[in-house]
Structure 1
């Protein structure tokens, strides 16, 4: 399977889960030549094919082959993560409903992070003690490169490999698309549990 075919397959699966409705969301893979392959902008994720992908430079986020499809609007976020982490080989940006809701609530409260405590699935984001994990929340700037700049400046090895964007969605990354997807699943579950627990406590 080619990288483009792998992107198309994963995108279709996330679309069917309701995480990439319409043309929302995007995923990418690092290539061995200083470039990344990312899903194209404005394409329904339920119909995306291997031809609907774009090679972009990790250094400057620009298409390697100008004139073809335009890369996703969130390309700069993906390339920021590739530059920040040598072990980052894949990035998933999606709009899972519970994660998006938690991000919106946090932003409305002026919070720049969300802490999850005492839940076993925290281990899915990082191994070891599941006592707590703090997930960054970034403002949803209209200019996406501003989000990317803040991501590149703020994320670090000690932070979990996921973050939220206020009223927008979530991003995860890892050494493969499968790991990045698994981490997104863990984050969405944590956000769902948080909302359920808060509701029960109110």
Structure 2
């Protein structure tokens, strides 16, 4: 169920979360973006503006956009995030999606790059996580195993959004609400901003555990 979000409260929450993720090193410089659906404004969402440093982001650094197109509602508004197409694709796809977080957490970004370079045959490679307790943080039906898709990092961001819509359309429910973009970063979504951020945290933690497990395995196999 989507939380009813007031415009001003939503703007402050986006700014606070951006500053928090910047402090973690997940939104360095102007990288990364967040959005939240505005239930009181049918078909509208609030997204962080383009080119704004996330460590000093304020509520004024957000833009109200139309979910159908990603275009600003007001003609004099700041330019929305360059990755607006990714956010709008998810908000259009999933009626229960209330917020989206896109960031560049290091272990997830490395995992996405490695998966893309390793699996040259799959159109959309999948990273599988098995048995880790953290999988439960995604809220999936079967926490024993999940598969996270890795999308190509097209120069035209709208094409990434198109790939996302194509991949998830008609997919059987039960998948984790996270995705990766090769050599780029990670995206998570949920009914509200807190849940989207929490799922991003779980994805980064799982990618870190996966990496550490591979290191441990390599050490054990070394003569």
Query: TM-score normalized by structure 1?
Result: 0.96
Query: Match of 1:95?
Result: 104
Q: What runs of 5+ residues in structure 2 fail to find an aligned partner?
A: 1-7, 219-223
Q: Which residue is equivalent to 1:107?
A: 116
Alignment of 1:160 onto 2:176:
yes
Q: Give distance in 1, aligned partners of 2:129 and 2:78.
A: 39
1:128 CA drift (Å): 4.8
- Report how far residue 4 of structure 1 moved: 0.8
**Separation (CA, whole Å) in 1 of partners of 2:146 and 2:140:** 11
Report the structure number with the largest CA radius of gyration: 2
Query: What residue is the counterpart of 1:60 in the other structure?
Result: 69
**Match status 1:191 vs 2:207:** yes
Q: How does 1:73-152 map to 2 (within 5 A)?
A: 73-109=82-118, 110=120, 112-152=125-165
In structure 1, stretches of 5+ residues that fail to align are none
Say how many residue pairs are matched.
Answer: 202
Alignment pair present for 1:29 and 2:36? yes
**Aligned counterpart for 1:169 among listed residues 182, 185, 188:** 185
Residues 1:4 and 2:20 are matched in the alignment: no
Quick one: distance in 2 between partners of 1:101 and 1:59? 32
Which residue of structure 1 lines up, in the alignment, with residue 5 of structure 2? Answer: none
Residue-by-residue CA offset, 1:73-117 (whole Å, 9 max, x unaligned): 110110110110000000000000000000010111135110011
Shift of 1:195: 0.5
Asked if 1 retains the 8 angstrom alpha-carbon contact of 2:140 and 2:175, the reply is no
Taking the aligned partners of 2:96 and 2:21, their CA distance within structure 1 comes to: 23
Q: In angstroms, what is the RMSD of aligned CA positions?
A: 1.2
Structure 2: distance between partners of 1:160 and 1:174: 10
Q: How far, CA to CA, are the matches of 1:116 and 1:106 in structure 2?
A: 13
TM superposition shift of 1:45: 0.1
Matching residue of 1:13: 20
